[in-house]
Amino acid sequence: MFHLHLSLFSKAKALEADIDRFHDKLIDASMTFTRAIKIYTTEGRNPDFEKHSKQIKQIEHNADELRRHIENNLYSYNLIPDLRADVLELIENFDKVINKIDEVTYMFYAECPDIPEEYQSSFNDLVRLSADAAENMCKASRSFFRDIGAVRDYSQKVYFVEHESDLCSRKMIENIFASDRSLAEKIQLRQFIDGIAEIADEAEDFIDRLLIFTIKRDI
Amino acid sequence: MDLTFLLYLSSGVFLGWSLGASEASNFGTAVATKMIKFRTAAIISSVCVILGAVIEGSGATQTLDTLGNITSLAGAFMIAFSAALTTAWMVKLSIPVSTSQAIVGAIIGWNFFAGRPTDLTILSEIITAWFLGPIFGGIFAVILYALLKLLFTHWKLHLLRKDTLTRIALILAGAFGMYALGANNIANVMGVFVKSSPLPPLALPFDIILSQEQVLFLLGGIAISIGISTYSHKVIETIGNTIMKLSPLMAWVVVMAHGIVLYIFSSSELRDLLISWHLPALPLVPVSATQAIIGSVIGLGLAKGGRDLNWSIIGKIIISFIITPITSAIICYISLFFLQNVFLQVVY
């Protein structure tokens, strides 16, 4: 019994460490993304931006490997089935945000859009808001595992920041379409704005699910 | 041991079997959520119920013995048989029945038939205990819930560790619940046979000697275990998936609360301790496990902010308090008449 008890906790400890590392990946991706877009908007696609872009790709790849590892371990670890299903769903949805960050960075890398000077600061603001939503989502998710009472606080921040990002992206789109640029340019810029704002949307979707799982486990 | 004794004991064994099949729901949530296999739950339940019956079964049995001093084997057979029949009938009517209420009714029926007076002081103690069972279940559930809430507010435990602890706690609570069920409810199953049992004491390894009464309780415990192993699977799944569709932590609260209720109405040591502390002692009376569970679930619901009491289920419990003993007493009285006058058996 004592051996069983120890082995159960050592297994849990390894899995806890993996879940923590998985959360770290989103923080890494989000901070690298903010820096990469700042470099792009001011200096264009230079070697420094490319280096950051590759870093994000690597983070996304590592996160995928970690996710698969956690999912396999969750099956072998004898969790209460209902909790296992919820944790698996959370991990999958969490990964979607990292994937979105990678996807948007790659769009900048591949399409090299021309960001007019008057929109550069708005682009950086929008990126900051989306990154903020992702980071608060990460904190909420960590709290779900470690301090369930704090989930609501971080979730509220995500909702607030996501709303701000919505307002910011709409204003940018309206300004761009009110300008005398070519339609192709306008549509391309809108796609980039939508892409960045979708990071915050994904974070909000994640939080919606997380809150349901939290209510289920609230004592 | 002659064949007649075994034949007469069969009604007690049947009652034990039906008790195991219907009231062993402690592992409901653990089995329904596939936390442990039914086989494992059945083995733990069987061992604990037998231990509870043999170690602490005598307290509640003495109370039933005071209510009706049954010295005839044929009379004991008919009391247990009437109780089993009433229980089966009430289950069919979906009334949360208690074997305790059925057996007490049957003993009173026997008292009437034998023309012996019923000790009203003991009877009122027993009826009070029936009411207190679900009420205490609710109170203990509220206390345990509050303690659990306090614990997890201050103890920031990782979800995975909490899960591991919950699983271990549920299994331990289930085992405790079964021990308490054995200690409390063995009186229903074998209590009426104690005076007429011809079984000799039994010597076990490690210098353990079971008294005549304990040998009877061992047989009753085995009958309950067979009921658990052969027929409780569906009941456990139904309870786990419907009545007790609670989160694992809340299921722990309910199982613990009902286990405590059964234990405090069974343990002579606890009663002596309360008396030594000049606290009011509770009577040692067999109470209903199902009704204690219902009381715990209602208490938990209220503690979690629910405002509506399920009056329908409370009404059914109160109906059960009234009609189960009356039905059982009538069946017992009529059956004893036939047993005495048609089959020419000495019933008292």
Question: What φ, ψ does residue B203 adopt, rounded to 5°?
Answer: -95, 130
The yes-or-no verdict on residue B146 having pLDDT over 80 is: yes
Q: SS3 for B229?
A: helix
- CB atoms closer than 10 angstroms to residue B208: 10
CATH class of the domain at A2-217 = mainly alpha
Please give the average per-residue pLDDT across B133-150, as a whole number: 94
**Average pLDDT of chain B to the nearest whole number:** 87
Q: Does the beta carbon of A217 lie under 8 angstroms from any beta carbon of chain B?
A: yes
Q: Does the beta carbon of B249 lie under 8 angstroms from any beta carbon of chain A?
A: yes
pLDDT of residue B321: 81
Question: Whole-angstrom Cα distance, residue B346 to residue B343?
Answer: 9
Please tell me which of the candidates B158, B163, B249 has its beta carbon nearest to residue A79.
B163
**Chain A residues within 8 A of B172 when measuring between CB atoms:** none
Question: Whole-angstrom Cα distance, residue A79 to residue B167?
Answer: 9
Between A175-189, B208-222, B316-330, the lowest mean confidence (pLDDT) is in B316-330
**Chain A residues within 8 A of B171 when measuring between CB atoms:** none
What are the tokens at B299? 């208490």
Please give the average per-residue pLDDT across A157-172, as a whole number: 97
**Average pLDDT of chain A to the nearest whole number:** 92
In terms of Cβ atoms closer than 10 Å to its own Cβ (0-12, 13-18, 19+), residue B85 is buried
What are the CA-CA distances from residue B137 to residues B144, B263, B287 (Å)? 11, 11, 11
Q: Does the beta carbon of A5 lie under 8 angstroms from any beta carbon of chain B?
A: yes
**Chain B residues within 8 A of A19 when measuring between CB atoms:** 160
Q: Does the beta carbon of A12 lie under 8 angstroms from any beta carbon of chain B?
A: yes
pLDDT tens per residue across span B88-117: 888 777 777 788 889 999 999 999 999 998
The band of A217, judged by pLDDT with boundaries at 50, 70 and 90, is confident
**Is A147 in contact with B247 (Cβ distance < 8 A)?**
no
pLDDT of residue B245: 61
pLDDT tens per residue across span B123-139: 999 999 988 999 999 99
**A–B CB contacts, 8 A cutoff, strictly below:** 49
Among residues B61, B57, B50, B58, which one has the least CA distance to residue B24?
A: B50
Assign 3-state DSSP to chain A and report helix, strand, coil percentages, each to 5.
Answer: 90, 0, 10
pLDDT tens per residue across span B256-283: 999 999 999 998 888 889 899 988 888 8
Q: SS3 for B282?
A: coil
Contact A119, A173 (CB under 8 A): no
Domain spans in chain B, listed from the N-terminal domain onward: 3-341
C-alpha A147, offset from chain centre = 21
pLDDT tens per residue across span A7-46: 556 777 888 999 999 999 999 999 999 999 999 999 999 9
What are the CA-CA distances from residue B227 to residues B22, B98, B224 (Å)? 8, 16, 5
Please give the average per-residue pLDDT across B51-63, as a whole number: 91
**Chain A residues within 8 A of B248 when measuring between CB atoms:** 80
What are the CA-CA distances from residue B48 to residues B140, B190, B223, B292, B301 (Å)? 22, 17, 13, 19, 29
Question: Whole-angstrom Cα distance, residue A11 to residue A5?
Answer: 10
Among residues A11, A18, A116, A31, which one has the least CA distance to residue A71?
A: A18
Question: What φ, ψ does residue A193 adopt, rounded to 5°?
Answer: -60, -45
The yes-or-no verdict on residue A105 having pLDDT over 50 is: yes
Which has more pLDDT, A13 or B326? B326
Q: Does the beta carbon of A216 lie under 8 angstroms from any beta carbon of chain B?
A: yes
Please tell me which of the candidates A12, A146, A149 has its beta carbon nearest to residue B164.
A12
**Chain B residues within 8 A of A210 when measuring between CB atoms:** none
ipTM entry:
0.80
Question: Whole-angstrom Cα distance, residue A41 to residue B278?
Answer: 81
The band of A2, judged by pLDDT with boundaries at 50, 70 and 90, is very low
Q: Which amino acid is at B28?
A: G
Minimum Cα–Cα distance from B304: chain A residue: A219
Question: Whole-angstrom Cα distance, residue B247 to residue B152?
Answer: 15
The band of B242, judged by pLDDT with boundaries at 50, 70 and 90, is low
pLDDT of residue A1: 46
Q: SS3 for A124?
A: helix
Q: Does the beta carbon of B159 lie under 8 angstroms from any beta carbon of chain A?
A: yes
Please give the average per-residue pLDDT across B18-43, as a whole number: 78
Among residues B85, B87, B19, B5, which one has the least CA distance to residue B52?
A: B19
Residue appearing with tokens 């849990």: A12
pLDDT of residue B308: 63
pLDDT of residue A53: 96
**Is A219 in contact with B145 (Cβ distance < 8 A)?**
yes
Q: B204: which strand partners? A: B208
pLDDT of residue A27: 97
Q: To which H or E segment does residue B266 belong?
A: none
Minimum Cα–Cα distance from B155: chain A residue: A147
